[in-house]
Structure 1
Amino acid sequence: MGWACKSAEEEPAKLHISSMEIVWDEEGGEREVSITSNGPWTIAVSDDWLSVTPLSGQGSQCLSITVLANTSSEGREAAITLRAGSLHRTIKAKQLAGESFPAYYIPADQTDMRQISSLELAGEMGVGWNLGNSLEAIGGETAWGNPVVTKQLIDAVKTAGFTAVRIPVAWSKFTDESNFTIDPLWKERVEEVVNYVLDSDMYAIINIHWDGGWMQPTYAAEAAVNARLEAMWIQIALHFRDYDDHLLFAGTNEVMVEGDYGTPKPEYTEVQNGYNQTFVDAIRSTGGRNAHRHLIVQSFNTNIDHAVEFMEMPEDMIADRLMMEVHYYDPFEFALDADSPVSQWGNIADDPTKTAGWGGEAHAVGQFQKMKTHFVDKGIPVIVGEYGAISKTNLEDHSIYRAYYLEKITQTMLDQSLVPFYWDNGHTGNHGFGLFNRKNGHQAYPNLIENLLPNIY
């Protein structure tokens, strides 16, 4: 009896795979698996959170297996089944549990969010201006004496040479106070003003301002404030989530224990640092472009010395997207105290009895150098969110020194790579900070604007 060789077509089917089990972390990604076969094969996948390419083929090939990010708090498993004739093999696909995301979360989106650090972005902001005493007015937009904000006013600010606008906001206009539901009409009004700024090709910053003083940094208030702060910022962040990186969020304002201007207790700074963390976490929890948005956090009472001594920057899920904010009104007697007879400031002062005796030009240089050394030089930009000097038209020589003060303070900030935002409260008379007529946008103090913007004029 003779023997005959079997043809290739009669060779038994073969099906081997390089891995029988693959484990992904929560971020997912792509892996490759090798198939060794001598015939046609097909693939079936048990779940739609992973995909395989190709799903059929002939002979030996490599498979590409792609797994999506796991946003569930539980791990998951799926089966990838390969069949070749009567043979079948199964790959077990496993993925670790991911972070549990809230229902309002959407995946991070970097569309129109430039790949630049906060330090780089701060370098583009130039000199900023505050829309003070308007949207943060308790009782309504016009309750503190200013007219309704118009596009004409914001365009005038742009024309003057400012390149960024800080918009203080009181958000506690609730339709349901029990869960801090912000009135949709108020969110739309704030958005309208934000669009005035962005449409004028300027940067815009919105915050939660004083807002009635509910943000006290004490252990007794901590839990309630954190709950309210989180609820409000999530709503704000969701409303503005689709805006690009020309819109920034600033978590708070001058957080302090009301009436206590001394060195803060450890309790106060610990709680206030926690408020900054709550703010950052709330914004990032909304995903989308907010996952990449530049955020601004504040030192205790936005004080420079307290920033250096007590500030702890919050943790963030993305690197280089945080800025620091402080304010500057030194010396108080010249810059802020309406009742003080102090009318002179700086190296040009010629009557020591009319100066504060502290807070001169060398003091300003030293304070701003502290911020550069402790923050800017470490990659954290600094916003001086408010500064300025009130008018004292009742003191004959004050206007000369006020103009000199604004020029020197602004330039000293710029020299130390800080971003200045002049405080304008809309009042252009005695004891006011206003630079513009809020009704028509006309410049009330062209000389002061020129001193604030030395590189424009």
Structure 2
Amino acid sequence: MSPTTDHRRRLRLGVIAGAAVAAMTAGLFGAVSAQAAQGCQVDYEVTGEWPGGFIAAVEVTNLGDPVDGWSLEWTWPDGQRVTNMWNAEHTGSGETATAESRGYNKKVATGDTTAFGFTGSWSGENTDPTEFRLNGRLCDGTTGEPTETPTGGPQEWDNAMDQVADMEPSTNIGNTLDALGGETAWGNPMITEELLQTYKAEGYNSIRLPVTWDEFTGPAPDYTIAPERMERVAQVVDWALENDLQVMINLHHDSWMWLDELPNDHDNVLAKFESMWTQIAERFKDYPDALSFESNNEPQFVGKEGDAGDPYNEELNRAFYDIVRASGGNNTDRLLVLPTLNTNAAQERLDPLKAMIDSLNDDMVAATIHYYGFWPFSVNVAGFPTYEEQSQADLAGSFQRTHDTFVANGIPVIVGEWAILNYGVTGPEVVEYGEMLKFFEDLQFQAREYHFTTMIWDAIQFLNRNTLEWHDQYLQDRISSSWTTRSGATSFDRIYLEKAGTIGDVSQTLDLNGLEFEGLWDGDTQLVEGTDYTLSGDTLTFKAAALTRLAGDRAYGTNATIEARFSAGVPWRINIITFDQAVLSDATGTTSLTIPTQFNGDRIEQMEAHYADGSNAGPAEWTPYQESNVSWLPNYSGGTITVPASFVNAIRDGEPVTITYHFWGGDSVDYTVTKNGSTVTGTAS
């Protein structure tokens, strides 16, 4: 079955926390009194399972005296293995699994709980462990004294590279404390401790907490930050740290609200920036190292594009660095994160930041970039509706340049934001779903290869903050799986079958990503190679008889979903879809146009627009293929296509425009749009 957190097994055992045998624990733990009574409880839960793999969460509650360093050991009953672990270090081998505390979670007070998770492999059975040993002592539900006093202890992070590595994986809590008009102004609920606990339980090790300060800042010359704002940020930071999440705070939308005027109002802007960071640094200077600071978000400067903006970016980064380091306390060696201009990964943007960081001679500094993919692919414009070679090359080039400039020279990199631009859960897909999955998988694979920490941009489109559940569990399963392993795919996640047409064989190409193909499944039923499909090299052919069976009565839309399973990762879903050519009707509007549409099971791939003379029509004058959501907005459930005002305003008055809607099923439908003054009309061809 496919991995899903709907499939859960939970095992709770009483365990005893005693000292480990000296051979196991030398140098691992801080001092624990030889007379300290130790005892705890383990909650072991399989949160997702699929053929050959599973995800598990483990919680350890300390019932005895405080623990300063821990090691939890168990034996696999059926040959399972840990493939990756977070919030603990896996040091076991073979049938023995061992989870050892990290520096930030080694201390567990009486009554407190520490948690970690892992992905594992299995074959045959996936039976839960029957007993655990904590610090070498059998878990039998009683309390007692440790047999020896462990000595030594793990160090705090010695450098930025180690700390940044421990932040992976990470997420933004976007459009909340950075929202203009207040924390809930952009539609999100207030951040709660339960939200942070949810992220932690789902395997995240850190959060990026974007904060916009301007609306809560007083006038010159003091630029005093309102105490209620500072304390609200501190409350969220406290919750994160208490739940073993590293947290990074910044100046966020301030970057375009007023910081971008640095070239034109230099002294006032710089004074405000310095005042803000002076106050923030003072408030948090005694916080533990798990709190880090980011200079500002996506720095940009009015009238100073390209190389002309780099000196201003460096000036802000240096001012930020000097203020924080001089503020004392733990700020003297706190992790500080510096952005490139626009957080761009072009070489000409990377080099100035590299030179600046080198000049600081400080091993607690990291660089940050953002990456939302090759722009035409990420917004579906200019004829890039799929994750094709140019999109793949853009990612590969951006990440390799960034690695070679920074990581290869001992400077860690945080991809502070990544996703698909304009991705949401309520509107139509901007990028086709399967093509987005391929991009996500490739990005996280390359991030692992180059040792980047990635912070997905989540502004509620991934985790529903009202219910604390994922909007799309399958998508999240693929994201979390890609923290540790690759997943396979095929050349497309859809097979379109004409409703009245004769069904024939359909071939796709396997994207193995270094894995082995293990077959196709329709629910719990495995398809038969040679009868239902054939495999020749990397060509996978679905046989006509199997497709006919799967299509059933051939109602419009998805008739069946097939899983292609591989030796690791999350299965790839292929939707069997019945369709006919879409039918568009005439329409009239003013500032925009809403076209009644019978989609008949199909969906739009891209939109092309021309004037009668063949020239391009629409906001993107440089290409005939106009941008999704800007020039075309389908509503598949409502049966309409909207031609937005942004497109109508961009076309010439009185000159008919031929719009061609290209559909994924292979059809193209022409439609004529004409603007005459305050009226716009649409005519079906």
The TM-score with structure 1 as length reference comes to 0.66
CA distance, structure 2, for counterparts of residue 217 and residue 397 of structure 1: 34
Identity of counterpart residues, as a percentage? Answer: 29
Distance 1:344 1:185, change over 3 A: same
Are residues 1:345 and 2:376 paired?
Answer: no
Contact 1:222 / 1:271 at 8 angstroms: preserved in 2?
A: no
Q: How does 1:217-228 map to 2 (within 5 A)?
A: 218-228=262-272
Match of 1:452 among 465, 476, 479: 479
Please name the residue that 1:410 is paired with.
Answer: 444
Please name the residue that 1:437 is paired with.
Answer: 464
Deviations 1:209-252 (CA, angstroms, capped at 9, x unpaired)? 01252111653233222211111011011111111111000011
CA distance, structure 2, for counterparts of residue 190 and residue 242 of structure 1: 15
Please name the residue that 2:55 is paired with.
Answer: none
Please name the residue that 1:96 is paired with.
Answer: none
Aligned residues: 324
Contact 1:277 / 1:314 at 8 angstroms: preserved in 2?
A: no
> 1:309 offset after TM fit, Å?
3.9
Please name the residue that 2:169 is paired with.
Answer: 127
Contact 1:118 / 1:323 at 8 angstroms: preserved in 2?
A: yes
Please name the residue that 1:154 is paired with.
Answer: 196
Distance 1:227 1:397, change over 3 A: closer
* AA partner of residue 478 (structure 2): N
> 1:307 offset after TM fit, Å?
2.8
Deviations 1:243-289 (CA, angstroms, capped at 9, x unpaired)? 1111000011111135x7x95143x2111111000000110121111
CA distance, structure 1, for counterparts of residue 261 and residue 307 of structure 2: 10
CA distance, structure 1, for counterparts of residue 371 and residue 465 of structure 2: 24
Please name the residue that 1:367 is paired with.
Answer: 398
CA RMSD of aligned residues (A): 2.5
* AA partner of residue 129 (structure 1): T
CA distance, structure 2, for counterparts of residue 126 and residue 375 of structure 1: 17
CA distance, structure 1, for counterparts of residue 188 and residue 473 of structure 2: 20
**Unaligned stretches of 5+ residues in structure 1:** 1-111, 348-357, 427-433
Deviations 1:121-172 (CA, angstroms, capped at 9, x unpaired)? 1121111100000001111001111111111211111122111100000112
Q: Say which SS state the counterpart of residue 326 (structure 1) adopts.
A: strand
Deviations 1:389-409 (CA, angstroms, capped at 9, x unpaired)? 143753598111112211211
> 1:205 offset after TM fit, Å?
0.4
Contact 1:277 / 1:315 at 8 angstroms: preserved in 2?
A: no
Q: How does 1:32-431 map to 2 (within 5 A)?
A: 114=156, 116-174=158-216, 176-178=218-220, 179-211=222-254, 213-216=257-260, 218-258=262-302, 264-266=306-308, 268-305=309-346, 306-311=348-353, 312-314=355-357, 319-335=362-378, 337=379, 342-346=384-388, 358=390, 360-389=391-420, 390-391=422-423, 394-395=428-429, 398-426=432-460
Contact 1:253 / 1:298 at 8 angstroms: preserved in 2?
A: yes
> 1:319 offset after TM fit, Å?
2.4
* AA partner of residue 442 (structure 2): K
**Unaligned stretches of 5+ residues in structure 2:** 1-153, 485-568, 570-685
> 1:318 offset after TM fit, Å?
6.8
CA distance, structure 2, for counterparts of residue 150 and residue 251 of structure 1: 25
CA distance, structure 1, for counterparts of residue 399 and residue 362 of structure 2: 24
Deviations 1:39-71 (CA, angstroms, capped at 9, x unpaired)? xxxxxxxxxxxxxxxxxxxxxxxxxxxxxxxxx
CA distance, structure 1, for counterparts of residue 382 and residue 235 of structure 2: 39
> 1:327 offset after TM fit, Å?
0.5
* AA partner of residue 130 (structure 1): N
Distance 1:414 1:232, change over 3 A: same
Contact 2:310 / 2:349 at 8 angstroms: preserved in 1?
A: no
Contact 2:324 / 2:331 at 8 angstroms: preserved in 1?
A: yes
Which fold has the larger relative contact order, with Cα–Cα distance below 8 Å and residues 6 or more apart in sequence? Answer: 1
CA distance, structure 1, for counterparts of residue 369 and residue 445 of structure 2: 17
Please name the residue that 1:72 is paired with.
Answer: none
Q: Say which SS state the counterpart of residue 253 (structure 1) adopts.
A: coil
Contact 1:414 / 1:420 at 8 angstroms: preserved in 2?
A: no
> 1:203 offset after TM fit, Å?
1.0
* AA partner of residue 331 (structure 1): F
> 1:448 offset after TM fit, Å?
2.2
Bigger strand fraction? 2
Q: Say which SS state the counterpart of residue 166 (structure 2) adopts.
A: coil
Deviations 1:326-377 (CA, angstroms, capped at 9, x unpaired)? 1011222332x38888542146xxxxxxxxxx3x223212211111111111
Q: Say which SS state the counterpart of residue 463 (structure 2) adopts.
A: coil
Larger radius of gyration: 1
Deviations 1:391-440 (CA, angstroms, capped at 9, x unpaired)? 375359811111221121112112111111101112xxxxxxx1111112
Contact 1:217 / 1:272 at 8 angstroms: preserved in 2?
A: no
Contact 1:323 / 1:382 at 8 angstroms: preserved in 2?
A: yes
CA distance, structure 1, for counterparts of residue 440 and residue 466 of structure 2: 24
Bigger helix fraction? 1
Deviations 1:270-323 (CA, angstroms, capped at 9, x unpaired)? 111110000001101211111010100110000001432432425787720100
